[in-house]
Amino acid sequence: MPTVYGQVKLIGRYADRVEKEAAEKRVSKTALIAEYALRGIEAVDSGKDSEWASLERRLSATLLSMRGEVEAVQAGLDTLTAMFDLFVKLMLLHLPEPLLDEAEAIQSSALTRYERFLKQVATTGFDQDRPQALRKIARLLETRIQEVTDES
């Protein structure tokens, strides 16, 4: 299957439109211009192709339009990974190993602080079901900690 590469230079109102729409859709300018090219080809060939070719073009356009959303998710995941990595490094650097006779008091204090953290997170304006999900996660973690404590 042949592949075609090309460069496009847009100026004036066309460049402004591409900049604005790419930012709104959270898609790269390259992907947006490729989508425009596919729409143009589809408009020219609209009466000539079979239904399968039309379906293929629509699927391609859909995948290209989703590319921006995928890029945004990947960027968020990269940011989250970097933040988590930094958090773990700082936590391990600043928290000493607990002594055996202080382990129970440390766990109790940590759970109390964690409950306060969850209350703060739940009241900071998350969308819809996220606070409920955080509470469920907290309950699961508490159950898991309790099981580990009971075993030892």
CA 123 centroid distance within chain: 22
pLDDT in tens, 2-31: 777 778 788 888 889 888 988 888 888 888
| Cβ atoms of residues 27 and 65 within 8 Å | yes
pLDDT for the residue 108: 82
pLDDT tens sequence across 105-144: 888 888 888 887 777 666 654 555 555 656 666 777 777 7
Question: CB–CB of 131/122 below 8 Å?
Answer: yes
**Who wins on pLDDT, 71 or 98?**
71
Return d(Cα 59, Cα 52) in angstroms, integer.
Answer: 10
Nearest to 108, CA basis, from 57, 67, 79, 146 = 146
Residue 135: the pLDDT is 66
Question: What is the percentage of the chain residues whose pLDDT exceeds 90?
Answer: 0
- When pLDDT is cut at 50, 70 and 90, the band that residue 80 belongs to is confident
CA distance 114 to 121: 10
* Sequence-ordered list of residues with C-beta below 8 angstroms from that of 72, at least 6 positions apart, any chain: 26
What per-residue confidence (pLDDT) applies to 35?
A: 81
pLDDT for 14 equals 86
Alpha helices in 4-129 (DSSP H): 13-25, 29-44, 51-94, 103-122
